[in-house]
Amino acid sequence: MLNVLLISGVERMGTVSASNTAKRKRYWAPTLLFASTGFLALTAVPLYGLEYGYSWQQWLAFILITGLCGISISAGNHRLWTHRTYKAHWMLRLWFALFSAATLQNTTLNWCSAHRLHHRYTDNNDLDPHSSKRGLWFSHLDWMMREYPSGRKTYDNVKDLQQDKIVMWQHRHYLPIAIGMNFAICLILGLITGDIIAMFLLAGVLRMVVNHHAAFALNSFGHRWGKRKFKGDISARDNPIINIFAFGEGYHNYHHAFPADYRNGVGWFAYDPTKWLIKSLSWLGITWQLRAATKLQIYRATQEVEIERAEQQLEKLATQDQQYWRELLQRERQDFCEIFDRWQALMTQRRAIDPDNASGRWKLATIQTQIRELKFRLKMQSERLRLMMRQLPLSPATTG
Ligand SMILES: [Zn+2]
Ligand SMILES: [Zn+2]
């Protein structure tokens, strides 16, 4: 029964409009789960600590298990299964299936279906299961606790995952796996650290609350506060605070711009433990076929956002000023598109060249120098764009 109710958090059908405020059916299992774990985390966890204290080993166990569970959602449910950004050995997939179930965030199949809908219909109040346009409370928790037509169940968008034996095994036996994992985590860590109750509170309750709200915060705060450098027309933001607790998932604007990229933080140094794990495992042959956006694609995305922002600023200018700046900006946009198209064409040519003969090597060298020239043109254009933004007779554009 609990299984049915938990799953039903995202399995909803209906025809009621999103704006309909009629009383909605409540899903009691997720409601009680979120309420009880939240209440215990705020009361029993600190009270037990004040009375008996927690050792550093217990805190270490809490941090490790929070990481294992959280990263099973981010590297498993999210980047592996929802977006297919890489391939993984069956043992790793089994690991992800077990520990993601322990977080009680619904089965992997249901999780991925809802998340694919979120990407497909971002900010559409009728079709995005947790559209942030419907408010923080709705996008953070309420969408799972009450019946909304936007939370309809569909498996049409996860047919590929229905071929994955591990995903389907977890889906069919979700409740015993989820309860068994939580029981095992608390018992094993409790026996190791010498206090089962302390581990129930830290590695059971507090860990689940942290995992829950770090993931849910991406849907709510991650679509409300932060920067939009890569895609300006959606609510998703890069939020450094959520990023810490969400194991790199906080680069949410980048992720919405490039969902097929196994990274969310692009540079190797950008805090994204999920990316570091996936990359490290690829050196051991446990993950492979890692997909990533090219530098050129990323550059183009950021540049386009800058141009769009400049255009929005121009709208606020007096008409006679607008004309002059608009023409300048139009030329810059054309120039940028031209450079990008030329670069793409050179890349295509490069792939077709045989490097094993002298003429092929000469052609490759020629293409390489042309690409270097294009890079320089892009750099100069970026400089001009920045200058232009500074000289616009307006206050600086907001970066939100
Ligand atoms: Zn999102
Ligand atoms: Zn995603």
288 touches 86 (CB < 8 A) = yes
Q: Quote the pLDDT of residue 268.
A: 87
Q: Quote the pLDDT of residue 15.
A: 36
Run of H or E residues at 385: helix 358-391
Residues 165 and 120 in one domain: yes
Q: Quote the pLDDT of residue 135.
A: 92
Q: Is residue 400 part of a domain?
A: no
φ/ψ of 251, rounded to 5, equals: -80, 65
Residues 176 and 309 in one domain: no
Q: How many domains does the chain have?
A: 2
With a CB cutoff of 8 Å and minimum separation 6, the contacts of 69 are 99, 100, 102, 103, 207, 208, 211
Q: Is residue 35 part of a domain?
A: yes
CA distance 11 to 65: 29
Residues 35 and 18 in one domain: yes
User: Looking at this protein, which amino acid is placed at residue 373?
Assistant: E
Q: 171 C-alpha vs ligand 1 centroid, how far in Å?
A: 23
195 touches 61 (CB < 8 A) = no
Q: 148 C-alpha vs ligand 2 centroid, how far in Å?
A: 21
Closest ligand (CA of 77): 2
Q: 221 C-alpha vs ligand 1 centroid, how far in Å?
A: 10
CA distance 99 to 81: 14
DSSP state of 173: T
Closest to 313 in 3D by CA, of 228, 399, 229, 394: 394
Residues 183 and 36 in one domain: yes
Residues 230 and 135 in one domain: yes
DSSP state of 202: I
Q: Is residue 398 part of a domain?
A: no
Q: Is residue 206 part of a domain?
A: yes
Residues 7 and 25 in one domain: yes
Q: Is residue 399 part of a domain?
A: no
Closest to 382 in 3D by CA, of 265, 302, 267: 302
Q: What is the CA radius of gyration of the chain?
A: 25
CA distance 193 to 185: 12
Q: Which two tokens stand for residue 178?
A: 């989820």
Q: Is residue 332 part of a domain?
A: yes
End-to-end C-alpha distance for the chain, whole angstroms: 44
Residues 273 and 339 in one domain: no
Q: 228 C-alpha vs ligand 1 centroid, how far in Å?
A: 12
Q: 105 C-alpha vs ligand 2 centroid, how far in Å?
A: 15
Closest ligand (CA of 118): 1
Q: Quote the pLDDT of residue 213.
A: 95
For residue 257, the enclosing domain spans 2-288
Residues 158 and 264 in one domain: yes
Residues 284 and 323 in one domain: no
φ/ψ of 394, rounded to 5, equals: -145, 170
Q: Quote the pLDDT of residue 327.
A: 84
Domain boundary among 269, 288, 307: 288
User: Looking at this protein, which amino acid is placed at residue 146?
Assistant: R
Q: Quote the pLDDT of residue 300.
A: 87
Q: 217 C-alpha vs ligand 1 centroid, how far in Å?
A: 10
Q: Quote the pLDDT of residue 319.
A: 67
Residues 314 and 264 in one domain: no
Closest ligand (CA of 122): 1
Domain boundary among 271, 288, 305: 288
Q: Quote the pLDDT of residue 395.
A: 45
Closest ligand (CA of 219): 1
Residues 276 and 329 in one domain: no
Which residue has tokens 């121009």? Answer: 314
Domain boundary among 288, 318, 350: 288
Q: 373 C-alpha vs ligand 2 centroid, how far in Å?
A: 35
Closest ligand (CA of 253): 1
Closest ligand (CA of 252): 1
Q: Is residue 269 part of a domain?
A: yes
Which residue has tokens 């998340």? Answer: 115
Closest ligand (CA of 83): 2
DSSP state of 158: G
**SS3 state at 87:** strand
Closest ligand (CA of 236): 1
Q: 341 C-alpha vs ligand 1 centroid, how far in Å?
A: 29
pLDDT tens string for the chain (400 positions)?
333 334 433 343 333 444 445 578 898 999 999 999 999 999 999 999 999 999 999 999 999 999 999 999 999 999 999 999 999 999 999 999 999 999 999 999 999 999 999 999 999 999 999 999 999 999 999 999 998 988 888 899 999 999 999 999 999 999 999 999 999 999 999 999 889 999 999 999 999 999 999 999 999 999 999 999 999 999 999 999 999 989 999 999 999 999 999 999 998 899 999 999 999 999 999 999 999 998 888 988 988 888 888 788 777 776 666 778 888 888 888 888 898 899 889 988 888 888 888 888 898 999 999 989 988 888 888 888 888 877 776 544 444 4
Q: Is residue 169 part of a domain?
A: yes
Residues 57 and 122 in one domain: yes
